[in-house]
Chains A and B, each alone.
Chain A
Amino acid sequence: MTYFPEEVVEHIFSFLPLHSDRNTVSLVCRVWYEVERLSRRAVFVGNCYAVRPERLVQRFPNVRTLTVKGKPHFADFNLVPPDWGGYAGPWIDAAARSCMGLEELRMKRMVVLDENLELLARSFPRFKALVLISCEGFSTDGLAAIASHCKLLRELDLQENDVDDHGPRWLSCFPDSCTSLVSLNFACIKGEVNPGALERLVARSPNLRSLRLNRSVSVDTLSKILVRTPNLEDLGTGNLTDESESYLRLSSALEKCKMLRSLSGFWDASPICVPFIYPLCHHLTGLNLSYTPTLDYSDLTKMISRCVKLQRLWVLDCISDKGLQVVASSCKDLQELRVFPSDFYVAGYSVVTEEGLVAISSGCPKLSSLLYFCHQMTNEALITVAKNCPNFIRFRLCILEPKKPDAITNQPLDEGFGAIVRECKGLRRLSISGLLTDKVFMDIGKYGKQLEMLSIAFAGDSDKGMMHVMNGCKNLRKLEIRDSPFSDVALLGNVAKYETMRSLWMSGCNVTLKGCQVLATKMPMLNVEIMNELDESSEMEENHGDPSRVDKLYVYRTTAGARNDAPDFVKIL
């Protein structure tokens, strides 16, 4: 085997789809390492601080697709202080120096500055796709740079970023010669866009398959655009608040989009718009109504009951248990469901309980991915759900009131979640809530053999809880814990485990500075970051040697050593 010419080895490697497989073959021998690294086209960096960007681009100079993730997941809920880090700059700088062939950059939870986007736009002549998810730090000026200079741009996908609005100019920066767009998503842009510029851009983009507009785009503009995009597969509408006449035009435009399979947006949707969507419903496989607190149970179910091929549904809890029963009886192919909490007061209909979930589980046996916010849950319901849907890969249940017990028996929900981990043998991601004792962790450790990510909040009685997880979940990669009674004992109970994981987050727990220092000393290949709430003095030195509790702890394996961009409030042990 070692006498094969390198071209043959490289060709064989091209059949390995998984990063992990390619990582493995590169360990076999020097030759394979070299062949693999020079032919690697896609690199995934799950934690931007786990490896130095310079090192990475030197190893893989021919990479075409780079994916980097920054802040820990709990940053989404404001648990990570601002200015913590996760800067895109060093990555784009390094790539600009060493990877001229870069075509795609995907970043999640990173701080991206306009100057980074400008450098990106100018450095890679074949750049095709920019995907930014939950990022911040840039403005529409940065987007203008991308639009102006990336001549081959196919994909500009901005998902839930916090973007400073500097006016509508950016959209007009796509030159007339730019005709290559396949996917454009600017739903998170807060400001207005120039409707004329948008229409002209769409008109010269014959390959456009996915278009997600922002709230400022009117029904009229949407109608005009849709006439130009008969091959559109995925649409995010603008606002749907217009006068009735506009909907007639919209309706006839929509009728021409025979390929439309996925729908989102519905910003400020007035119920008037609902019937105009009916003709599309039969073909839809994806529907996101979770930005629309203005549609109530009755509007939602009228739409959803017609979506018989639906595979992915995101809604607000205004849909209510009754509405979920309609989903269960209509959408037999449903694979993913997300029910988000709404603050919008709709009399009597905003309550989603265990009944809705049970109905879904019995009507939709293909369900594999769930995110469910509800007001109450019972063990019996969870046991039923587990039996009905043994195919769960992602199961995230958030009972809105912390530590709430079984709504009927007042018992902890250990049994229910235990049933989930026991029955769903392929479970990879789990978020638990409600009143939970150490017992649930026993089950998670015993049965969660495929579990890769676990989120814990307000749960457990003692260190034993966390120890069950650390010792039992062989494939655990990310563990995030908040407000649970785990102390240094649990933190230090299985230190070798952290080398096999991407990261650990603990906030509001009982770990102390001393415990963290012990961990840092024992495991030099980990970065142990602690963040304490700043008080008036805002000096970490004052707390030095103080055996007080650590507010926030973030531990991750790294080959890069301590990072040099940490702010004052982060102490790396």
Chain B
Amino acid sequence: MGEAAEGSKTLHNWMGEPRPGDQDDEDKTLQLSLGLPGGGGGGGWTTPGREKGNHSVAGSSMLSLGYSNAAPFSPCSQGKAKGSPAASTGHALASTHNASQTRSPNAPVIGWPPVRTFRRNLATSSRASLDHQKGKMAAKPEEATKRAPFVKINMDGIPIGRKIDLNALDCYENLSLAVDKLFRGLHAAQQDPLAAGTRECPQESVAISGLLDGTGEYTLVYEDYEGDRVLVGDVPWGMFVSSVKRLRVLKTSDLSSSVSTSSQHPAYADPAFRFLTSHNPCS
């Protein structure tokens, strides 16, 4: 399916660096949209605005990321793609529907996928509400993909920092393992200066564990773009990746006394909970 392949190529370009001007204008079926989220404009499942007389035909300034009706026998749906939202410029809706996994950023298809309107708005409004609740400005989705995947990470007591590629990891457990891998040798070297300079018997060095649940000697925290220091593990992974500026591995004992390793409530066994131990658990 040639169109799909071409779409795929274009999409990768768009994902890396949005360059709508470079689109091949000859290919009228390709449309990339920079539209505002909500109202169905998000993620490419554009729903039709009732803008009579405002036909957003392929090739117009309205470019919509979405699924195309590539069927030649249905010119109607393409020609009358009124799905483009009114705001013509705006922020790219980066990967709001896993664009990197899809292969057809073509003209928007009205009413596709067959999902009710309130579900289309759910993601953007939910994320906005969660960010608002955490006192951050809603992260612009385009920045999520522009942020450098490699973040600095420093560990207490180790003068040399490392860099870690968060995009190569997919969950907090793997982050914890990666941190262990990065620093274990260095940490061991700090403990025993005589071992510094030898790279033998790495398995004798002690694993750095318990980074996420407060049980270890060290705990993983991060700094976000607002300058706040936050315990790692609270938010969904993707949100974390988009908001983390740098990582730190701190001595657990250096953290505030609010972090403890014992609790009575079974819920506290969950890593997401460790910061709650500052409150008295009810029993």
Contact = CB atoms under 8 A, between A and B. Distances in A.
B98 A340 contact: no
Nearest to B40: A78
B112 A402 contact: yes
Interface string B104-133: 100001111111111110111011011001
A275 B237 contact: no
A446 interface: no
B9 to A, nearest CB: 16
B48 interface: yes
Contacts of A346: 236-239
Contacts of B114: 74, 76-77, 398, 431, 455, 457
Interface size class on chain B is 35 or more
A456 to B, nearest CB: 12
B261 interface: no
Interface residues of A, number: 78
B123 A241 contact: no
Contacts of A268: 126, 129-130, 133
A241 B133 contact: yes
A81 B51 CA distance: 12
B194 interface: no
A566 interface: no
Nearest to A405: B1
Interface stretch (A91-99, A287-295, A521-529): A287-295
A489 to B, nearest CB: 14
A498 B82 CA distance: 32
A349 B109 CA distance: 25
Contacts of B170: 347-349
A82 B117 CA distance: 14
Interface string B1-39: 100100000000000000000000000000000000000
A347 B113 contact: no
Contacts of A252: 282
Interface string A199-224: 00000000000000000000000000
Nearest to A487: B73
A549 B171 CA distance: 51
30 contacts: A76-B114, A78-B40, A78-B47, A79-B111, A160-B118, A241-B130, A241-B133, A244-B276, A268-B130, A270-B234, A274-B272, A293-B123, A318-B236, A341-B97, A344-B123, A345-B94, A345-B98, A346-B237, A347-B241, A351-B98, A351-B101, A402-B70, A403-B1, A403-B71, A457-B112, A485-B73, A485-B74, A508-B69, A508-B76, A535-B53
Interface of B: 1, 4, 40, 42-43, 45, 47-48, 50, 52-53, 67-71, 73-74, 76-77, 80, 94-98, 101-104, 109-120, 122-124, 126-127, 129-130, 133, 141, 144, 167, 170-172, 234-239, 241, 265-270, 272-273, 275-276, 279, 281-282
Q: Closest 9 A-B residue pairs measured CB to CB?
A: A275-B267, A77-B111, A343-B43, A343-B123, A346-B238, A344-B123, A296-B236, A343-B96, A347-B238
